[in-house]
Amino acid sequence: AATVTAAAASGGAPHLLLICFPGQGHVNPMLRLAKRIAAKGLVVTFSSTSAIGAKLVESSGVSVGGDGVPLGGGRIRFEFLEDGFDGSDLDELMRHLGTAGPAAFAELLARQEAAGRPVACVVGNPFIPWAVDVAAAAGIPSAVLWVQSCAVFSLYYHRVHGLVEFPPEDDLDARLTLPGLPAMSVTDVPSFLLPSNPYMSLTEAIQQQIRTIDKATWVFVNSFTELERGVVDALRGVATPPPPPLIPVGPLIELEGDAAVRGDMIRAASDCVGWLDEHPPRSVVYASLGSVVVLSAGEVAEMAHGLASTGRPFLWVVRPDSRALLPEGFLDAVAGRGMVVPWSPQEQVLVHPAVACFLTHCGWNSTLETVAAGVPVVAFPQWGDQCTDAMFLVDELGMGVRLRAPLRRGAVRDAVDAAVAGPDAGAMRSSAAAWSAAARAAVAAGGSSDRHVEAFVEEVKTRAA
Ligand code: UDP
């Protein structure tokens, strides 16, 4: 009965509520999924913590409450938990989410009901495993969006269920083999699974999501069938316990008409694209380590001198929290050739013809965005799934080279040279171009991921009818 009311209350379109872990690498894919679903005719509310809400209002101009913005056949709107937490310590955040999250989310669901906008389906994501339980308690079906690769899902799944023995962390020669994946050294597996991992609260939350994953009716993944066919097929062969079928709906990249609703938590510099316009094709090095990685002062200096020593123009994202670490006089010394910004409109940058290569930490969003844009990489992973993604980009897709720690200016220069002009650079570009075409086909109308979103939306509509 609740779902029938949902359909009626929003002018016939069922109302779907996304609840997102507070991190840029989660907000982007969740918001892009929200846009895909809205475009196919549902009313979608995007939600996260109150702190994320404040940042999105300030940096991306989203407006909270009301009917939201029309998008394709549906609408997208924003409404946030009233959880009041504003700290920055990760363990504290995880504790807070675990204790205050479920009640705040139940209240948000009740608020929808009270506003005559009951929720027909919830979409949660892996670092907030309780979202599915709260939805179930309210009698609402739910989905989960896995925001990392299928390969990483498989690694977690095998580990959580004890289906494979991981090599000891200090045995660099040992290899881990999982069906559908290349043999991996311990440096290729997500560092959240290693004993030395300092972020145990995150590991716990992810493991909990894996343990309870079959409570969700749909398990979406930000990937596309053609990209990870081997591992998706291999997961189907795991018998005990059987994993849920992964439904690829990615790459969740910005599509035409999407840009009106953005999810930046730092305001993107407005002059990047104009600056790129002034440069010849394939001349600029774009460097960004995402929203979380922090370099030491020494590493920032090596990166700065390394980028300068390439002799190429570069666009470098140095977040406000690291700006003070730039070497003295650096900005003046590179003025005209190097542009340093606190945040970039990354997807617009990557698709710009002036960009020659992407020096990236290999977060999964950045990985998929560079695949979709067809830009070769210098892979500089730090932790988490970035290590697995770097292996994937360099060894499996043949899209670039690795830059290894400890970070040295000469190594930065050599890696950029290898990716842009070295003997293998042409092959890397061809490979990147082929994967770009496959990625775009997957999300274009009728592509593999588009069909998966379409089928889901139809099912939600049918259930709500
Ligand atoms: N991003 C951006 N501008 C920047 C740096 C990053 O828009 O200057 C976006 C990027 O496009 C990606 C997200 O922030 O969608 C970062 O997610 P990712 O998974 O790559 O890394 P994380 O930040 O989670 O480590």
Interval 19-46: pLDDT, tens: 999 999 999 999 999 999 999 999 999 9
Q: What separation in Å is there between the alpha carbon of 250 and the centre of ligand 1?
A: 16
CA distances from 3 to 42, 76, 80 (A): 13, 19, 22
Q: For the chain, what percent of residues have pLDDT higher than 90?
A: 83
CB 360 less than 6 A from any atom of ligand 1: no
Half-sphere exposure of 224 (CA within 13 A, CB side): 27
Q: For the chain, what percent of residues have pLDDT higher than 70?
A: 98
CA distances from 7 to 12, 107, 120, 253, 412 (A): 5, 20, 8, 28, 55
CB 389 less than 6 A from any atom of ligand 1: no
CB 217 less than 6 A from any atom of ligand 1: no
Angle at 204 between CA 90 and CA 183, to 5 degrees: 110
What are the residues whose beta carbons fall under 8 Å from the beta carbon of 458, sequence distance 6 or more? none
What are the residues whose beta carbons fall under 8 Å from the beta carbon of 374, sequence distance 6 or more? 429, 432, 433, 435, 436, 437
Check if the beta carbon of residue 384 is closer than 8 Å to that of residue 188.
no
156's tokens: 């977690």
Sheet holding 43-47, edge to edge: 69-71, 74-78, 43-47, 15-19, 121-124, 142-146, 218-221, 246-248
With 70 as the cut, is the pLDDT of residue 8 above it? Answer: no
- pLDDT for 302-317, tens place per residue? 999 999 999 999 999 9
Report the residue among 273, 344, 346, 392 best suited for mutation to probe ligand 1: largest number of ligand atoms under 8 A from its CB. 346
200's tokens: 């145990």
**pLDDT grade for 5, boundaries at 50, 70 and 90:** very low
Q: Does an H or E element contain 284, and which?
A: strand 284-288
- pLDDT for 240-272, tens place per residue? 899 999 999 999 998 877 777 889 999 999 999
Distance CA 441, CA 272 (A): 27
Averaged pLDDT score across all residues of the chain: 93
The answer to whether the Cα torsion of 381, 226, 155, 198 is positive or negative is: positive
Selected catalytic residue, list 15, 26, 158, 452: 26
Nearest to 357 by CA among 303, 408, 404, 399: 399
Distance CA 248, CA 146 (A): 9
Q: What is the reported pLDDT for 194?
A: 87
- pLDDT for 59-113, tens place per residue? 999 999 999 999 988 999 999 999 988 888 888 999 999 999 999 999 999 999 9
Phi, psi (rounded to 5 degrees) for 214: -80, 0
Check if the beta carbon of residue 174 is closer than 8 Å to that of residue 184.
no
β-partners of residue 220 are 145, 247
Which numbered atom of ligand 1 lies nearest the CA of 364? 19
Q: What is the reported pLDDT for 306?
A: 98
Q: What separation in Å is there between the alpha carbon of 161 and the centre of ligand 1?
A: 31
DSSP 395: I
Q: What is the reported pLDDT for 234?
A: 94
- What is the reported pTM? 0.96
Q: Report the DSSP pairing between strands 377-379 and 400-402.
A: parallel
Q: What separation in Å is there between the alpha carbon of 25 and the centre of ligand 1?
A: 6
Distance CA 141, CA 429 (A): 43
92's tokens: 């504290």
138's tokens: 């309210």
- pLDDT for 276-287, tens place per residue? 999 999 999 999
| Residue type, position 242, single letter | P
What are the residues whose beta carbons fall under 8 Å from the beta carbon of 287, sequence distance 6 or more? 303, 307, 314, 315, 316, 317, 358, 359, 360
Distance CA 137, CA 12 (A): 25
Q: What is the reported pLDDT for 3?
A: 44
**First-residue to last-residue Cα distance in the chain:** 10
DSSP 245: P
Q: What separation in Å is there between the alpha carbon of 365 and the centre of ligand 1?
A: 6
Is residue 305 annotated as a catalytic residue, yes or no?
Answer: no
Which numbered atom of ligand 1 lies nearest the CA of 367? 20
CB 288 less than 6 A from any atom of ligand 1: yes
Check if the beta carbon of residue 180 is closer than 8 Å to that of residue 233.
yes
